[in-house]
Amino acid sequence: MTKPNSEAEANLTRKRLVELLHYNPDTGHFVWKVSIGRCRKGERAGCRRRPDKQVTITIEGRNYFAHRLAFLWMTGSWPQGRVIHRDGNPRNNAWSNLRVARPRKATPRKIDLSALIKRLDAPVAG
């Protein structure tokens, strides 16, 4: 199985997503519109690898994060950047709970000069 990634996202369109799945923005749940493999029409789509992890949905052999699929479903395009769950619960994919994170600016690392000076003043073992 492949990991969710941007290469897979480039291959899935909103049109195809809507053909396969229904998204309920109030609950954040996806439901299959068609039967494909082990997935049956009317069943809830998605699984969690571990209880603390995000929901993934496999479509045509590729894994997608449900929160990113919600953005594609609601806006017609993939989110640019990371998606944040407002309540911190990675399983709550209700539309009102999702937002795109602001890009972070690269900040220089802070250096503790006092620790550096102490190391430079330390006697050298010889």
Closest CA to 27 of 87, 86, 97, 108: 97
pTM, rounded to two decimals: 0.75
79 vs 38: CA distance, rounded Å: 29
Contact call for residues 14 and 72 (beta carbons, < 8 A): yes
Task: Please report the pLDDT score of residue 93 as a whole number.
Answer: 96
Task: Please report the pLDDT score of residue 1 as a whole number.
Answer: 40
Q: What does the radius of gyration of the chain's CA atoms come to, in whole angstroms?
A: 22
Per-residue pLDDT of the chain (126 residues; tens, 9 = 90+): 445 556 667 789 999 999 999 999 999 999 999 998 888 999 999 987 666 689 999 999 999 999 999 999 999 999 999 999 999 999 999 999 999 998 776 556 666 667 666 666 667 665
Sort strands 83-85 and 55-59 into parallel, antiparallel or unpaired.
unpaired
The domain spans of the chain are 6-100
Residue corresponding to tokens 């789509």: 45
